[in-house]
Amino acid sequence: MSELDSFIENNLDDSDAFYCRGALKAMIKDYRGAIEDYTKSLEINPLNADIYFIRAFAKANLEDFSGAIEDFSVAIEINPTDAMSYISRGRMRLEMEQNLDAISDFDKVIAIKPDFKGVYRYRGSALINIEDYVGAIADLTKAIDLDNGYKWNYLYRAIAKMGLNESSGALHDLDLAILVDPVFSIAYYTRRILKNVTDEEQHVYSDFNKEIEFGNEKIRENYN
């Protein structure tokens, strides 16, 4: 990085140089330093949507989700057809429990790129948060159609089915999540809770042991 520092000292109007140094700082998790360099780069070239986009992630790594949303919003103003900026802003809004705004962003992604992997899972999660379980199940089923090897799709769909008291369907999805990842401790935990509610006591202890074996730290601590 020292050579780049020297180059910048003699080329203070080079936007790309500040951008590159910011990226290097981000790689070593110096996010504040990265933000400073991205900001310098934007002062020189304020219409570069890519720099707003990556500065947003640097802010998110510092848990400045509001700042990240602002940067993604500027990136979208510059490039309104960039699905990545919409889905990223939606994820930040989801993090801040701004579910309706997040859903709006995910709608935009689907309008731009209907087969964008992950967007149906994120929108499904937001729909669960607002208790639209029917809509969530539809989205998570689409997510599974696009990627049937991703364990979280099954887990979230199970949670949506639990919201509709569809216990057998939820258990089936949890079984599928565990089939994809046999050490998925959260799925064992959720399945144990659901079996407890549905009086499948003969299976509860087995799932409890699986949670301990596969790394549910809270369960292990309580057990000890």
Q: Model confidence over 6-48: pLDDT tens digits?
A: 777 777 788 899 999 999 999 999 999 999 999 999 999 999 9
User: pLDDT grade, residue 208 (50/70/90)?
Assistant: very low
What's the pTM value of the predicted model, to 2 decimals? 0.84
pLDDT value of position 219: 41
Residues in the chain: 224
Which of 52, 93, 91 minimizes the C-alpha distance to 72?
A: 52
The C-alpha atoms of residue 15 and residue 115 are separated, in whole angstroms, by: 34
The C-alpha atoms of residue 204 and residue 199 are separated, in whole angstroms, by: 9
The C-alpha atoms of residue 214 and residue 155 are separated, in whole angstroms, by: 16
Give the rounded distance of the alpha carbon of 214 from its chain centre: 23
More confident position, 1 or 38: 38
pLDDT value of position 52: 98
> Is residue 122 domain-resident?
no
> Is residue 13 domain-resident?
no
Tell me, what CATH number does 137's domain have? 1.25.40.10
> Is residue 167 domain-resident?
yes
- Supply the range of the domain harboring residue 195: 128-224
User: pLDDT grade, residue 216 (50/70/90)?
Assistant: low
At 74-120, the pLDDT tens digits run 999 999 999 999 999 999 999 999 999 999 999 999 999 999 989 99
At 141-167, the pLDDT tens digits run 999 999 999 999 999 999 999 999 999
> Is residue 123 domain-resident?
no
Domain count, the chain: 1
Answer yes or no: is pLDDT of 213 > 70. no
- As given in the structure block, the two tokens for residue 124 are 């499904």
**Backbone phi and psi for residue 203, each to the nearest 5 degrees, phi listed first:** -100, -10
pLDDT value of position 2: 72
Look at 92-96, 133-137, 199-203 and tell me which has the smallest mean pLDDT.
199-203
